Amino acid sequence: MKLLLPILTIALLASSVFYWRAQRYDERAVLAPLESGTATAYFAGGCFWCTESDFEKLTGVSAVISGYAGGTTTDPTYTSVSSHTTGHLEAVEVRYDPSIVSYETLIRYFFSHIDPTDPTGQFVDQGDSYLSAVFYQSETEKMIGEAEIKRLTDSGAYDRPLVTTLRPFTVFYPAEEYHQDYSTKNPARYHYYRGASGRDQYLERICPIRATKNVPCLKAE
């Protein structure tokens, strides 16, 4: 029996990994239509599991979709984007009510949850697909992004230059269904990943510094 239990455990893990990989690579997400009065915003903050989870906590945000943006490859997959050869970044589409939360608030919230000084990725995730970026859809959004980068730079809160890029939005490809609402569907895996990623440890260090420079981190209520 003692021998049988480990064998059964290994078999169960193997089957779960197979199912996980099948979902991860094969199932495409099906999105609900955009509701009237809902606006969209697009951000890349490293691992989209984390960026999605952070934005879902913000009042006025109705939905967050993980996906890919910024590249030239049509219909990218997680596998192709992870190769860092498509030009796409892991990104999120934030659906929000502009009568409740402004685009400026979204921008400030975004910069409060990333390391805008990392030129090669975000935290434990390194490579082109993990670069941070704001995808603006209008000149107004671009100006708001530029103003926030200037505000943070002028504050002196960061000891390195801010390198998060502002890019014109072109197209957003939803990621595979398995990636959607990952923190909710896989709380244990997500908790382990996030704890080991270094993201929260960095924010715990930088946010007090930002507070002393009068540019406090914006957190969900």
Say if residue 140's pLDDT is above 60: yes
**Domains in the chain: ranges and CATH:** 33-212 (3.30.1060.10)
User: How confident is the model over 65-96, as pLDDT tens digits?
Assistant: 999 999 999 999 999 999 999 999 999 999 99
Where residue 84 falls (left for φ over 0; alpha for ψ -120 to 50; beta otherwise) is: left
Decide if 29 contacts 176 (C-beta within 8 A).
yes
Strand ranges in the chain using DSSP code E only, listed in sequence order = 39-45, 61-69, 89-96, 121-122, 125-126, 132-136, 165-168, 172-174
Q: Higher confidence at residue 86 or residue 30?
A: 86
Supply the pLDDT for residue 220. 87
Decide if 29 contacts 180 (C-beta within 8 A).
yes
Neighbour-count burial for 4-29, b at 16+ CB within 10 Å, e otherwise = eeeeeeeeeeeeeeeeeeeebeeeeb
Decide if 136 contacts 145 (C-beta within 8 A).
yes
Q: Which of 47, 50, 207, 217 is catalytic?
A: 47
- Give the pair of three-digit tokens for residue 4: 């049988």
Supply the pLDDT for residue 26. 53
47 catalytic residue (yes or no): yes
Count the helix, strand and coil residues of the chain and give each as a percent rounded to the nearest 5. 45, 20, 35
Supply the pLDDT for residue 182. 96
- Per-residue pLDDT band for 11 (boundaries 50, 70, 90) equals very low
* Rounded alpha-carbon distances, angstroms, from residue 153 to 118, 149, 159: 14, 6, 9
Mean pLDDT, residues 124-144 taken together: 98
